[in-house]
């Protein structure tokens, strides 16, 4: 997913990555419970990196840009992708260089769909290509995580792992394995139109769990049980049971205080329209819900209902994809 292109008199590197959705396990995954996540190849981000040597700016769409090593670029100093590229340059003893990175991103930002991890992956890949450095998955994961810790306050690594994954994953305590999907059910993502507040939500959940360790243990055990059962439902193609797991996990997220009236409204609309189950996805406090439909056809109807109920945008993604 990286390339090197010589454009006299400059040399640029390019990199690409994709967004993700968390089926189950957000928040509790930060404390060692498992999560199930799906890469979304349709949500793509492309990055171009260049060593600044004077001359014209980088061309191309600029959904987002930042510069490493430029003292004037104070705005991006705390952004995950910038922190990740800074870390890559430090590891490669290139901290003195001034690097411009521009990103063209299809992933709606701040919607719990993995834009920060994906932008960081694409930007680091582009920078690796710029320096003709092969970069293995583990190094890329470690570097991107430096940025994700800034973006989330404390990042489990599920977003980064899903941004690097080729298919659905089971993620727990920093480890990832592919999971089997035996159903052709589809997921509809519906956007509340409001920015998610992942960092804040992660901090508040932490405070909630610390206040009552016994309750925290019970919640985490419940989260583990629901996600484990869901992996079995997925593998065996039990879409109706999987829908119930989404409902159970949403109750848990609600108890953790990360849902909002807007998310709840879309979840109710999804159920009214016949979804097998629905829940928020990602950090919450805004962002998106996911709703499970038993087939791509019913996903179309569900999608229409969600838009009629006020969703700012909807996307349908298959659960099982051809290899």
- How many CB atoms within 10 Å of residue 8? 5
Site size toward ligand PMV (CB under 6 A) is: 17
Minimum CB–partner distance for residue 198 and ligand PMV (Å): 4
- Determine if 14 is a binding residue for ligand PMV (CB under 6 A): no
Minimum CB–partner distance for residue 29 and ligand PMV (Å): 5
Minimum CB–partner distance for residue 237 and ligand PMV (Å): 26
| Contacts for 259-267: CB closer than 8 Å, 24+ residues apart | 259/284, 260/192, 260/194, 260/284, 260/285, 260/286, 262/192, 262/193, 262/194, 262/286, 263/192, 263/287, 263/289, 265/309, 265/310, 266/190, 266/192, 266/306, 266/309, 266/310, 266/311, 267/291
Minimum CB–partner distance for residue 290 and ligand PMV (Å): 12
Options 1-9, 38-46, 69-77, 194-202: segment touching ligand PMV (CB under 6 A): 194-202
Considering only residues 26, 87, 191, 262, which one is a binding residue for ligand PMV as defined by CB under 6 A?
26
Smaller CB distance to ligand PMV: residue 126 or 196? 196
Q: In sequence order, which ranges of the chain are alpha helices (DSSP H)?
A: 80-91, 115-130, 137-152, 158-164, 198-211, 213-236, 239-255, 261-272, 296-308
The region, left, alpha or beta by phi > 0 then psi within -120 to 50, assigned to residue 132 is left
Considering only residues 196, 223, 252, 273, which one is a binding residue for ligand PMV as defined by CB under 6 A?
196
**In the window 132-191, what residues touch ligand PMV (CB under 6 A)?**
152, 155-156, 158-159
**In the window 218-277, what residues touch ligand PMV (CB under 6 A)?**
none
- Residue by residue, what is the 3-state secondary structure of 236-279? HCCHHHHHHHHHHHHHHHHHCCCCCHHHHHHHHHHHHCCCCEEE
Options 23-31, 84-92, 225-233, 265-273: segment touching ligand PMV (CB under 6 A): 23-31
Minimum CB–partner distance for residue 91 and ligand PMV (Å): 22
- Determine if 283 is a binding residue for ligand PMV (CB under 6 A): yes
CB-CB contact of 301 with 314 (8 Å): no
Considering only residues 15, 18, 19, 27, which one is a binding residue for ligand PMV as defined by CB under 6 A?
27
Minimum CB–partner distance for residue 148 and ligand PMV (Å): 7
Minimum CB–partner distance for residue 240 and ligand PMV (Å): 26
- Determine if 279 is a binding residue for ligand PMV (CB under 6 A): no
Residue whose C-alpha is closest to residue 273's, from 307, 237, 244: 307
**In the window 77-96, what residues touch ligand PMV (CB under 6 A)?**
none
Smaller CB distance to ligand PMV: residue 128 or 143? 143
Give the list of residues 6+ apart from residue 32 with CB closer than 8 angstroms, or none: 172, 173, 220
What is the rounded distance in angstroms from the CA atom of residue 32 to the CA atom of residue 29? 5
Q: What distance separates the 2 farthest-apart alpha carbons in the chain?
A: 63
- Determine if 293 is a binding residue for ligand PMV (CB under 6 A): no
- Determine if 127 is a binding residue for ligand PMV (CB under 6 A): no
Considering only residues 81, 147, 277, 282, which one is a binding residue for ligand PMV as defined by CB under 6 A?
282
197 SS3 class: coil
State the residues that interact with ligand PMV by CB under 6 A: 22, 26-27, 29-30, 112, 114, 152, 155-156, 158-159, 196, 198, 202, 282-283
């Amino acid at each position: 997913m990286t390339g090197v292109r010589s454009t006299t008199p400059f040399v640029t590197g390019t990199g690409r990555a994709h967004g993700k959705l968390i089926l189950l396990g957000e928040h509790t995954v930060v404390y060692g419970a498992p999560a199930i996540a799906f890469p979304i190849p349709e949500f793509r981000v492309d990055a171009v990196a260049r060593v600044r040597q004077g001359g014209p700016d980088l061309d191309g769409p600029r959904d987002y840009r930042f510069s490493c090593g430029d003292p004037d670029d104070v705005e991006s100093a705390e952004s995950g992708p910038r922190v990740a590229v800074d870390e890559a340059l430090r590891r490669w003893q290139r901290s003195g260089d001034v690097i411009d990175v521009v990103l063209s991103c299809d992933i709606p930002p701040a919607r719990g769909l993995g834009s920060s991890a994906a932008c960081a992956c694409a930007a680091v890949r582009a920078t690796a290509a710029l320096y003709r450095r092969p970069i293995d998955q583990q190094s890329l994961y470690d570097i991107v995580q430096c940025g994700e810790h800034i973006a989330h306050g404390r990042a489990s690594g599920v977003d980064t792992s899903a941004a690097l994954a080729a298919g659905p994953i089971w993620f727990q305590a920093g480890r990832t394995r592919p999971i089997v999907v035996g159903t052709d059910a589809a997921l509809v993502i519906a956007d509340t139109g409001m920015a998610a507040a992942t960092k804040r939500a992660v901090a508040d959940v932490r405070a909630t769990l610390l206040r009552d360790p016994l309750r925290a243990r019970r919640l985490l055990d419940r989260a583990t049980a629901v996600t484990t059962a869901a992996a079995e439902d997925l593998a065996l193609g039990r879409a109706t049971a999987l829908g119930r797991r989404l409902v159970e996990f949403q109750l848990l997220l609600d108890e953790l205080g990360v849902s909002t009236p807007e998310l709840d409204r879309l979840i109710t609309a999804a159920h009214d329209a016949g979804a097998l189950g629905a829940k928020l996805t990602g950090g919450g406090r805004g962002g998106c819900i996911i709703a499970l439909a038993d087939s791509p056809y019913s996903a179309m109807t569900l999608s229409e209902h969600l838009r009629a109920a006020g969703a700012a945008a909807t996307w349908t993604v298959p659960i099982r994809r051809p290899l």
